[in-house]
C-alpha cells in the first residue's frame, strides 16, 4: 500500500491531500487553519464525510502531529508505515532548483536560504518540511517548486533591463510562480487539443487570488507574468500587480503612514488589486454581485481586472507569435463565466469566439465555437496531483 501526502504549508495554514499511488486516488484531504493563533481549525474530508474541530495549534510540528493522528483516528490509514512519500510545495527555488528534488539537509538549508525571494512563503514551507522530518524521519520527502517549471524561460524574458551586476551579483531576475499549475493545465490542454505537446502553443491564465499568465511553447514555459516575486503581473485579489516603480518612493515621501519601502510593499501585497479598488472585498464573487447591483467601485475593479488580463494575454500572443489555445484555470478562471466572457469578447481579433452554451458555470473543456481559430479551454488545475506524481517519480 503506497500512500503519498501532498503538503502546501502557508504561514498560518497547512493544506494536505492524501493519495493512493500510483492509482492517483484521493483518499482524504484537509486543511489546518490559524496555526499559531487561538482556535485553530482542523478540517478533514474523506469518503463522503467531513470532520471539523477547533484546537489551539501553536506551530507546524503540532499541526503535522494532529494531521497524522486524524488519519489514524478516522481509519484512513491503519499505520504510519503506509505513508511512503511526502511532497511539499515550495514557492521559491531561485536559480538552484530547476526540477523537484528529494529533500536532504542541504536542500532544506537551501530552501531556507532562498527566503529572501519569498519571505512569506519559504519559511512556512520549510517549517512544514521539518515537521514531517521530525515525525516521519524515514519517509522520502520531495520538494516541488513553484518556480521550477519557468526555468526554461530564455534570458531575454527573465532578465530585467537593470545594470548587469544586479543580476550577476544579486540574482535579480524573473522567476515566475504557479509553475505546477501552468505545467498541469498545459499538458491537459494538449490532450484536449488532440495534438502532441511538442507542437502546441498555449497561453495559460491562472486566475485565482493570485494571478499569473504564462506563454507555453511546446510544453515549455517561455514567459510568465509573475516576476522576481509573486507581486508582478496583472492586478490580483489583494496585490497590485505591475505598477510604475517610481510610485514607491513617491508614496513614502508623501503619505504619512507609509514610512519605508516595507510599508509600501505591504500595501501593494495586501491592500491593493481588486480589494484596493472594489473596497468591499477581494473575493470575485462579492465583486460580481456588486457589479450586478450597480456598485461603481466594483464595476471599476471588474473592468480593470479584465483590462489587465487582456493586455497580458495579448502580449503572449506576440511572444508565441500565435497560439492554439487560451486556457483558463484556478478559482476565477474555472468558475467566473463573466470574467471569461469579458476577457475573450474583447480579444476576438485574435481568433477566439466563445460558445455561450458552453461558457456556463460547471462546464470544463473547450468553451469556444467550432469555428474559433484559437480554442478557449477551461481546465481545473490540480497542483496537489503534480506534487504526488513528482514524489512517485523521485522516490
Ligand atoms: P487561491 O489563489 O487562494 O488558491 P483560488 O484559485 O481558490 O485562490 O481562487 C479564489 C478566487 O476565485 C476568489 O476571488 C473567488 O471569489 C473566485 N471564485 C470562486 N468561485 C467563483 C465563482 N463561481 N464566480 C466568480 N469567482 C469565483
Question: Is 146 an annotated catalytic residue?
Answer: yes
Q: Characterize 353-391 residue by residue with b for buried, 16 or more Cβ atoms within 10 angstroms of its Cβ, and e for exposed.
A: bbbeeebeeeeeebbbeeebebbbbbbebbbbbbbbbbb
Same structural domain for residues 80 and 204?
Answer: no
Instruction: With beta carbons less than 8 A apart as the criterion, state whether 213 and 182 touch.
Output: no
User: Domains in the chain: how many in total?
Assistant: 2
What DSSP element (H or E) covers 386?
helix 383-394
Strand-pairing partners, residue 192, are none
Domain-located, residue 189: no
Ligand 1 center to 229 CA (angstroms):
21
Q: Under DSSP, is residue 262 helix (H, G, I), strand (E, B) or coil?
A: helix
In this structure, what C-alpha cell is assigned to residue 167?
543580476
- Say whether 331 counts as a known binding-site residue: yes
Going by alpha carbons, the residue nearest to atom 25 of ligand 1 is: 336
Instruction: Say if ligand 1 is within 6 A of residue 283 CB.
Output: yes
In this structure, what C-alpha cell is assigned to residue 331?
478559482
**What is the spatial distance between Cα 344 and Cα 350, in angstroms, rounded to a whole number?**
9
Same structural domain for residues 139 and 202?
Answer: no
Predicted confidence at residue 20, as pLDDT, reads: 96
**% helix / strand / coil in the chain, to the nearest 5?**
40, 20, 35
Domain-located, residue 164: no
Please list the ranges in the chain whose pLDDT falls under 70.
1
Same structural domain for residues 140 and 198?
Answer: no
Residue that terminates a domain, selected from 76, 110, 145: 145
Q: For residue 339, which atom of ligand 1 is closest to its CA?
A: 25
Q: Residue 239 is part of a domain; what is its CATH number?
A: 3.30.420.40
Domain-located, residue 65: yes
Ligand 1 center to 208 CA (angstroms):
5
Domain-located, residue 177: no
Instruction: With beta carbons less than 8 A apart as the criterion, state whether 22 and 385 touch.
Output: no
Same structural domain for residues 98 and 218?
Answer: no
Predicted confidence at residue 10, as pLDDT, reads: 82
Domain-located, residue 279: yes
Q: What SS3 string covers 174-242? A: CCCCCHHHHHHHHHHHHHHHCCCHHHCEEEEEEECCCEEEEEEECCEEEEECCCCCCCCCCCCCCCCCC
pTM for this predicted structure:
0.94
Same structural domain for residues 234 and 356?
Answer: yes
Same structural domain for residues 236 and 357?
Answer: yes
Cα torsion at 143, 149, 151, 153 (round to 10°)? -170
In this structure, what C-alpha cell is assigned to residue 95?
536559480
For 57, the domain range is 2-145
pLDDT tens-place string over residues 116-126: 888 878 999 99
Predicted confidence at residue 1, as pLDDT, reads: 66
**What is the spatial distance between Cα 119 and Cα 91, in angstroms, rounded to a whole number?**
10
- Say whether 65 counts as a known binding-site residue: no
Q: What are phi and psi of 49, to 5 degrees?
A: -110, 160
Same structural domain for residues 202 and 140?
Answer: no
Same structural domain for residues 139 and 250?
Answer: no
Domain-located, residue 257: yes
Same structural domain for residues 53 and 200?
Answer: no
Same structural domain for residues 203 and 340?
Answer: yes
Q: For residue 333, which atom of ligand 1 is closest to its CA?
A: 12
- Say whether 125 counts as a known binding-site residue: no
Domain-located, residue 160: no
Instruction: With beta carbons less than 8 A apart as the criterion, state whether 139 and 84 touch.
Output: yes
Predicted confidence at residue 63, as pLDDT, reads: 93
Same structural domain for residues 198 and 140?
Answer: no
Active-site residue, selected from the candidate residues 59, 70, 105, 146: 146
Instruction: Say if ligand 1 is within 6 A of residue 288 CB.
Output: yes
Same structural domain for residues 271 and 134?
Answer: no
Amino acid at each position: 500500500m503506497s500512500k503519498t501526502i501532498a503538503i502546501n504549508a502557508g504561514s498560518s495554514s497547512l493544506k494536505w491531500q492524501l493519495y493512493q499511488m500510483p492509482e492517483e486516488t484521493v483518499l482524504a484531504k484537509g486543511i489546518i487553519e490559524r496555526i499559531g493563533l487561538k482556535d485553530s481549525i482542523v478540517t478533514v474530508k474523506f469518503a463522503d464525510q467531513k470532520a471539523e474541530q477547533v484546537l489551539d495549534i501553536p506551530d507546524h510540528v503540532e499541526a503535522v502531529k494532529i494531521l497524522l493522528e486524524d488519519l489514524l483516528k478516522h481509519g484512513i490509514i491503519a499505520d504510519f508505515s503506509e505513508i511512503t512519500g511526502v511532497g511539499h510545495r515550495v514557492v521559491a527555488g531561485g536559480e538552484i532548483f530547476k526540477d523537484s528534488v528529494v529533500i536532504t539537509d542541504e536542500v532544506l538549508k537551501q530552501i531556507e536560504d532562498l527566503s529572501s525571494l519569498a519571505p512569506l512563503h519559504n519559511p512556512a514551507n520549510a517549517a512544514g518540511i521539518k515537521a514531517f522530518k521530525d515525525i516521519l524521519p524515514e519517509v522520502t520527502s520531495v520538494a516541488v517548486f513553484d518556480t521550477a517549471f519557468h526555468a526554461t524561460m530564455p534570458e531575454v524574458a527573465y532578465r530585467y533591463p537593470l545594470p548587469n551586476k544586479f543580476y550577476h551579483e544579486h540574482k535579480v531576475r524573473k522567476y515566475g510562480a504557479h509553475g505546477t499549475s501552468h505545467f498541469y493545465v498545459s499538458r491537459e490542454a494538449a490532450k484536449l487539443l488532440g495534438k502532441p505537446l511538442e507542437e502546441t502553443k498555449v497561453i495559460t491564465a491562472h486566475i485565482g487570488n493570485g494571478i499569473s499568465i504564462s506563454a507555453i511553447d511546446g510544453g515549455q514555459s517561455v514567459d510568465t507574468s509573475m516576476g522576481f516575486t509573486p507581486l508582478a503581473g496583472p492586478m490580483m485579489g489583494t496585490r497590485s500587480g505591475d505598477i510604475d516603480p517610481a510610485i514607491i518612493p513617491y508614496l513614502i515621501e508623501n503619505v504619512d503612514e507609509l514610512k519605508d519601502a516595507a510599508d509600501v510593499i505591504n500595501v501593494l501585497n495586501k491592500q491593493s488589486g481588486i480589494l484596493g479598488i472594489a473596497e468591499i472585498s477581494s473575493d470575485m464573487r462579492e465583486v460580481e454581485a456588486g457589479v450586478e447591483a450597480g456598485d461603481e467601485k466594483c464595476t471599476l475593479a471588474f473592468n480593470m481586472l479584465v483590462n489587465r488580463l487582456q493586455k497580458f494575454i495579448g502580449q503572449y500572443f506576440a511572444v508565441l507569435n500565435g497560439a492554439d489555445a487560451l486556457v483558463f484555470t484556478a478559482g476565477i478562471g474555472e468558475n467566473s463565466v463573466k470574467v471569461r466572457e469579458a476577457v475573450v469578447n474583447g480579444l476576438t481579433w485574435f481568433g477566439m469566439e466563445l460558445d455561450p452554451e458552453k461558457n456556463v458555470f460547471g462546464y470544463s473543456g473547450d468553451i469556444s465555437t467550432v469555428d474559433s481559430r484559437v480554442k478557449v479551454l477551461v481546465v481545473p488545475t490540480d497542483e496537489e496531483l503534480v506534487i504526488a506524481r513528482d514524489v512517485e517519480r523521485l522516490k
